[in-house]
């Protein structure tokens, strides 16, 4: 055990982190002289901030368990003191943020230059400013010690990411995406405001300790109502189905390293919020959490996982596909969180299982940040070299961008939950937790949990299909357009950002036991039980086990390390077998196309690849398809056939379009009443004021 680091060092680190992000934000001044300098300085500052954040979080996680680090901030408002407080959970999320932020900061400068070399200095400065504000707000949100800091950071995070989403405005699309994002995000924020202020009202103070004390006196109904308000707010941000419609539009619109941050990290901040509210602020003083909480989260998670991956399958826009996969992965995380909520604070076996579930969820948080970040960065490399996001127009990039291809493949294997990479590890833990939960409950609840596990298996299989498509169509085959044909490898600094995340994927996959050690503090703090490594790696860090030593039930152990070694040895053996046996030289020939000379038109497209699954799941997709034939003279000779196919999100058509129609109708009615004269409006204001006063008076 390392000796606990001095709090003073941690404080210094925190201040350093703050000042770095602050300095990064201020570098926009440099843009007056040189846009290039501003970009470089801003990203260097972000990198420094991220490294400082990494240091602080590791310090807390590896140091004294259970210690909460608090740091009062200078007084900004007369009515509340702002403060930071960092416990295991905050530190863990800070770690996730910092790890991806390092990659984004390495990747960003070259990307911004390569992607939009003609962008004005003002825009570049705005991007640098927003990036640093975004990172700073996310980092401090996780360390917030009171409601006000939390909400300020939350709002700062939203605004900064909005700026980044609309900053790359080539067509109206991004502006519309940003608009939708803004509306949805603020709808969610409004719910959070209500939840928080209902608590602060009771507590008479803003800091979390007071809120916790105030929540202790709540009755069950209010407690549950507040939880669902907060869940609604956080779920909007996390992109949980059916609140996800903004996500696949907004995430791809931002510059790619920001997409990586939004998908890999910003969604996790919402998960942090859910955990903080459910297990800490709103949790009853004694006894288990209300069952409705956990089951709701479990069902929402399962739905998100399946729906997210099903829609991802039908996307042709590479970044949009990745964004839909974020919906899926948030679902997987929420499955773990929900299960932990259902099981926690029961008897010993339940607590151990809850620890297992929460470990799975938190580990998946980190894993998803790593591989989704990697994939977005890879998509960004493709985008900045080809300026095309539609994978039907790509193809053949493997020969032109080998590094990007290899790293994207790594991410694809990881996200498809295939061994030996990290995605498999957290899904394996989730499976074990679900199985344990099913055995624990028996009856209908157990069956529901097992079905959730089956859905998780379906999700994994579909994700593999989706990435076979996305990767194969984008990188393999022949280039379909000249954009793809003239692509070259991305600059070294961008590759460096990807290598960092790729290495994380490998390390987290091959030796997950060490990462589990970082989860001790958060799991122990949230569940009042044994830490993660006491449950998951009791047989040493190289073995993952789901055996619950406390109760003697369940005994499954796997070792990713041994398996990886075996895989490597077998691959070497197979390579030798293949090499050693054949003495004949290799020669090249065109691909077999039944004797015709092959062109890129022979290659399978993404639409074609996903067609069988589109038909199998037609009940959900309700695909629209229009085929028009132009005939030349006789109806038997078609001169041209137009095909148009589309899959629209059911949530969008069934829920949002109806809401939209309702609002439009309402505004039409209001418009009939509006005369356009200022006097009338002032009259309305007076009337409203009068009614408000009346209500206030009656309320007293």
Partner 1 sequence: MAQPVDLVLVLVLLANFLILGTGWMRVCIRAAAFQGVLLSLLPLLSPGEMVWRVIVMAAGAAIVKGILIPSLLVKAMRDVHIRHEVEPYVGFIPSLFLCALGTGFAILFSGRLPLAAEHVGTLLVPAALSTLLSGFLVLITRKFAITQVVGYLVLENGIFVFGLLLIEAMPFMVEVGVLLDLFVGIFIMGIVLNHIQREFSAPEIELLADEEE
Partner 2 sequence: MMSGEISVVIVLLDMALLVLIGPLVTGIIQKIKARLQCRQGAGVLQPYRDIRKLLRKGTVQADTASGFFRSIPVLVLAATVAAGALVPVMRAAPPVFPMGDAIMLLGLLALARFLTALGALDAGGAFGGMGASREMTIAPLVEPVLMMVVFSTALAAGTTELGALAAHRGTSWILSWRAADFLGFAAMLVLLPAETGRIPVDNPDTHLELTMLHEGMLLEHSGPGLGCMLLASHARQIVTLGLVSALFFPFGPTESAGAMGLLLGAGAFAVKILVLAGFLALVESSYAKLRLFRVPQYLGVGFVCALTALALRIL
Stretch that binds partner 2, among 165-173, 291-299, 323-331, 467-475 (CB under 8 A): 467-475
CB of 455 to partner 2, least distance (A): 7
Cβ burial of 511 (10 Å; 0-12, 13-18, 19+) is middle
Residue 584 touching partner 2 (CB under 8 A): yes
* Shortest spacing between CB 225 and partner 2, in angstroms: 33
Q: Helix, strand or coil for residue 270?
A: helix
Q: Which of 555, 638, 688, 694 binds partner 2 (CB under 8 A)?
A: 555
Residues in region 386-415 near partner 1 by CB under 8 A: none
Within 569-608, the residues that bind partner 1 by CB under 8 A are none
Residue closer to partner 1 (CB basis): 451 or 686: 451
Shortest reach from residue 224's CB to partner 2, in Å: 28
The footprint of partner 2 on residues 535-554 (CB under 8 A) is 539, 543, 545, 552-554
Selected range binding partner 2 among 130-138, 199-207, 267-275, 594-602, rule: CB under 8 A = 594-602
Nearer to partner 2, 225 or 563 (CB): 563
Distance (Å, rounded) from C-alpha 144 to C-alpha 70? 9
Q: At what angle do helices 267-275 and 121-142 cross, to 10 degrees?
A: 20
Partner from partner 1, partner 2, none contacting 581, C-beta within 5 to 8 A by type: partner 2
State yes or no: cis peptide before 420, omega within 30 of 0: yes
Specify the DSSP element, H or E, that contains 222: helix 220-238
Asked if residue 357 lies in contact with residue 433, where contact means CB atoms within 8 angstroms, the answer is: yes
Pick the stretch among 272-280, 294-302, 307-315, 439-447 that binds partner 1 (CB under 8 A). 439-447
**CA distances in angstroms from 229 to 222, 270, 278, 516, listed in the order given:** 10, 13, 12, 32
Q: Which two tokens stand for residue 206?
A: 């803003």
Helix (H, G, I), strand (E, B) or coil at 389: coil
Q: Which of 83, 404, 432, 537: binder of partner 2 (CB under 8 A)? A: 432
Nearer to partner 1, 455 or 484 (CB): 455
DSSP notation for 241-262: TTS-TTHHHHHHHS-HHHHHHI
Please, what is the minimum distance in Å from the beta carbon of residue 451 to partner 1?
10
CB of 116 or CB of 430, closer to partner 2: 430
Closer to partner 1 by Cβ: residue 444 or 697: 444
Binding partner of 692, given partner 2, partner 1, none, CB within 5-8 angstroms per partner class: none
Q: Residue 655 and residue 362: Cα distance in Å, rounded?
A: 31
Task: State the minimum distance, in angstroms, from the CB of residue 616 to partner 1.
Answer: 9
Quote the least distance from Cβ 617 to partner 1, whole Å. Answer: 10
Give the number of other CB atoms < 10 A from CB of residue 572.
10
* Nearest CA-CA partner of 168 in 138, 130, 135: 130
Torsion angle of the four alpha carbons 499, 370, 100, 122, in this order, in degrees rounded to the nearest 10: 80
Please report, in angstroms and rounded to a whole number, the separation of the first and last CA atoms in the chain: 60
**Separation of alpha carbons 314 and 569, rounded Å:** 37
Choose the one of partner 2, partner 1, none that binds residue 422, judging by a C-beta under 5 to 8 angstroms depending on kind: none
Q: Which is nearer to partner 2, 451 or 688 (CB)?
A: 451
Among 417, 487, 499, 647, binds partner 2 (CB under 8 A): 417
User: What is the rounded distance in angstroms from the CA atom of residue 10 to the CA atom of residue 570?
Assistant: 46
Could you tell me which residues come within 8 angstroms of residue 671 by beta carbon, excluding any fewer than 6 positions away? none
Comparison of 260 and 463: residue with beta carbon closer to partner 2 = 463
Write down the least CB distance from residue 618 to partner 1, Å: 10
Least separation in angstroms between residue 441's CB and partner 1 is 13
CB of 400 to partner 2, least distance (A): 9
Q: Name residues contacting partner 1, limited to 440-469 (CB under 8 A).
A: 443-444, 447
Comparing CA positions, the residue from 303, 284, 309 lying closest to residue 221 is 284
Check binding of 578 to partner 2 (CB under 8 A): yes
Closest CB to partner 1 among residues 443, 595? 443
DSSP single-letter state for residue 645: E
Minimum distance from CB of 303 to partner 1 (Å)?
Answer: 17
For residue 607, the minimal CB distance to partner 1 (Å) is 24
Q: Which does residue 413 bind out of partner 1, partner 2, none, counting CB within 5 to 8 angstroms by kind?
A: partner 2
- Least separation in angstroms between residue 442's CB and partner 2 is 6
Of 368 and 440, which has the nearer Cβ to partner 2?
A: 440
Binding of partner 2 at residue 473 (CB under 8 A)? Answer: yes
Q: Tell me which H or E stretch contains 644.
A: strand 638-646
Residue 563 binding partner per list partner 2, partner 1, none, with a CB distance cut-off of 5 to 8 Å that depends on partner kind: partner 2
Q: Are 344 and 288 in contact (CB under 8 A)?
A: yes
Positive/negative CA dihedral, 277, 282, 287, 292: negative
Site membership for partner 2, residue 591 (CB under 8 A): yes
In whole angstroms, the minimum distance from the beta carbon of 482 to partner 2 comes to 16
Size of residue set near partner 2 by CB under 8 A:
97
Q: Which two tokens stand for residue 415?
A: 């996200």
Among 172, 590, 633, 697, binds partner 2 (CB under 8 A): 590
Give 16 or 450: the residue with its C-beta nearer to partner 1: 450
DSSP state of 229: H
We find the least distance from the C-beta atom of residue 98 to partner 2, in angstroms, to be: 30
Which of 165/421 has CB closer to partner 2? 421
Residue 566 in contact with partner 2, rule: CB under 8 A = yes
Report the b/e string of 578-608 with b at 16+ CB within 10 A: eeeeeeeeeeeeeeeeeeeeeeeeebebbbe
Instruction: Please tell me the number of Cα atoms within 13 Å of 606 on its side-chain side.
Output: 29
Over the window 596 to 635, marking each residue x when it contacts partner 2 by CB under 8 A and - when it does not, the resulting string is --x-x-xxx---xxxxxx-xx-------------------
Binding flag, residue 455, partner 2 (CB under 8 A): yes
Query: x/- string (CB under 8 A) for partner 2, residues 383-412?
Result: ------------xx-xx--x--xx--x---
Torsion of CA 383, 384, 386, 391, to 10 degrees: -10
Q: How many CB atoms lie within 10 A of CB 642?
A: 9
Residue 87 tokens, joined? 């416990």
DSSP notation for 396-439: -TTTT-HHHHHHHHHHHHHHTT-TTSHHHHHHHHHHHHHHHHHH
List, as one string, the DSSP characters of 71-129: EEPPP-BTTB--EEEE-HHHHHHHHHHHHHHHHHHHHHHHHHHHH-TT--HHHHHHHHH
| Residue 179 near which of partner 2, partner 1, none (CB within 5-8 Å, type-dependent) | none
Find the Cα–Cα–Cα–Cα dihedral 125, 129, 131, 134, rounded to 10°.
-160
Q: How far is the CB of 241 from partner 1 (least distance, A)?
A: 20
Q: Which is nearer to partner 2, 71 or 563 (CB)?
A: 563
Could you tell me if 487 and 396 are in contact, meaning their C-beta atoms sit under 8 angstroms apart? no
CB of 619 to partner 1, least distance (A): 8
- Our CB check for partner 2 shows the closer of 208 and 471 to be 471
Look at residue 558 and give the partner it binds from partner 2, partner 1, none, a contact being a CB closer than 5 to 8 Å depending on partner kind.
partner 2
Summarize as ranges the residues that interact with partner 1 (CB under 8 A): 443-444, 447
């Amino acid at each position: 055990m390392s000796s606990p680091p001095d709090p003073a060092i941690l404080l210094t680190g925190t201040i350093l982190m703050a000042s770095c992000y602050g300095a990064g934000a201020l570098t926009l001044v440099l843009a007056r002289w040189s846009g290039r300098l501003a970009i470089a300085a801003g990203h260097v500052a972000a990198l420094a901030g991220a490294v400082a954040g990494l240091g602080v979080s590791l310090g807390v996680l590896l140091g004294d368990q259970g210690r909460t680090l608090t740091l009062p901030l200078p007084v900004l408002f007369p009515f509340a003191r702002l403060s930071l407080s960092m416990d295991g959970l905050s530190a863990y999320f800070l770690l996730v943020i910092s790890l991806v932020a390092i990659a984004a900061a390495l990747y960003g400068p070259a990307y911004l230059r390569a992607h939009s070399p003609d962008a004005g200095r003002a825009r570049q400065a705005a991007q640098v400013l927003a990036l640093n504000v975004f990172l700073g707000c996310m980092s401090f949100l996780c360390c917030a010690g009171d409601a006000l800091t939390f909400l300020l950071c939350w709002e700062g995070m939203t605004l900064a990411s909005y700026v980044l989403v609309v900053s790359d405005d080539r067509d109206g699309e991004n502006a519309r995406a940003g608009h939708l994002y803004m509306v949805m995000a603020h709808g969610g924020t409004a719910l959070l405001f209500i939840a928080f202020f209902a608590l602060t009202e009771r507590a008479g103070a803003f800091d979390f300790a007071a809120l916790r004390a105030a929540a202790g006196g709540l009755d069950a109904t209010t407690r549950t109502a507040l939880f669902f308000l907060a869940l609604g707010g956080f779920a909007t941000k996390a992109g949980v189905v059916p609140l996800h419609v903004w996500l696949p539009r907004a995430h791809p619109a931002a510059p790619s390293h920001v997409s990586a941050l939004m998908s890999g990290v910003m969604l996790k901040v919402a998960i942090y919020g859910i955990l903080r509210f459910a297990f800490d602020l709103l949790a009853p003083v004694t006894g288990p959490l209300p069952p409705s909480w956990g089951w709701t989260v479990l069902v929402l998670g399962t739905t998100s996982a399946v729906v997210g991956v099903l829609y991802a399958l039908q996307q042709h826009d590479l970044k949009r596909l990745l964004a839909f996969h974020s919906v899926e992965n948030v679902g997987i995380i929420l499955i773990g969180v929900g299960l932990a909520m259902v099981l926690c604070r029961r008897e010993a076996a339940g607590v151990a299982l809850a620890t297992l579930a929460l470990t799975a969820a938190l580990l998946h948080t980190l894993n998803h940040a790593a591989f989704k970040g990697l994939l977005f960065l890879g998509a960004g490399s493709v985008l900045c070299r080809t300026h095309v996001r539609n994978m039907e127009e790509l193809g053949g990039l493997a020969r032109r961008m080998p590094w990007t291809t290899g790293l994207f493949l790594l991410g694809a294997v990881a996200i498809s939950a295939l061994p030996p990479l990290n995605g498999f590890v957290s899904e394996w833990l989730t499976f074990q937790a679900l199985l344990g939960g099913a055995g624990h409950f028996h009856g209908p609840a157990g069956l529901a949990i097992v079905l959730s596990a089956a859905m998780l298996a379906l999700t994994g299989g579909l994700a593999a299909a989706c990435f076979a498509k996305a990767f194969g169509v984008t990188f393999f085959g022949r280039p379909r357009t000249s954009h793809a044909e003239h692509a070259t490898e991305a600059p070294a600094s961008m590759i460096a950002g990807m290598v960092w995340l790729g290495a994380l994927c490998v390390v987290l996959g091959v030796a997950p036991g060490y990462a589990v050690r970082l989860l001790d503090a958060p799991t122990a703090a949230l569940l009042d039980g044994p830490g993660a490594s006491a449950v998951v790696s009791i047989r040493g860090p190289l073995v993952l086990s789901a055996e619950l030593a406390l109760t003697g039930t369940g005994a499954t152990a796997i070792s990713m390390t041994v398996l990886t070694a075996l895989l490597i040895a077998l691959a070497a053996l197979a390579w030798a077998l293949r090499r050693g046996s054949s003495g004949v030289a290799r020669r090249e020939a065109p691909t077999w196309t039944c004797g015709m000379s092959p062109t890129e038109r022979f290659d399978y497209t993404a639409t074609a690849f996903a067609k069988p699954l589109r038909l199998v799941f037609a009940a959900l997709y309700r695909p629209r398809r229009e085929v028009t034939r132009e005939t030349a003279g006789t109806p038997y000779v078609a001169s041209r056939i137009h095909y148009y196919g589309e899959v629209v999100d059911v949530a969008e058509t069934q829920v949002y379009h109806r809401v939209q129609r309702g609002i439009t109708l309402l505004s039409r009615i209001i418009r009939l009443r509006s005369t356009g004269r200022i006097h009338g409006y002032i009259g309305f204001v007076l009337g409203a004021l009068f009614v408000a006063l009346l209500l206030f008076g009656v309320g007293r």
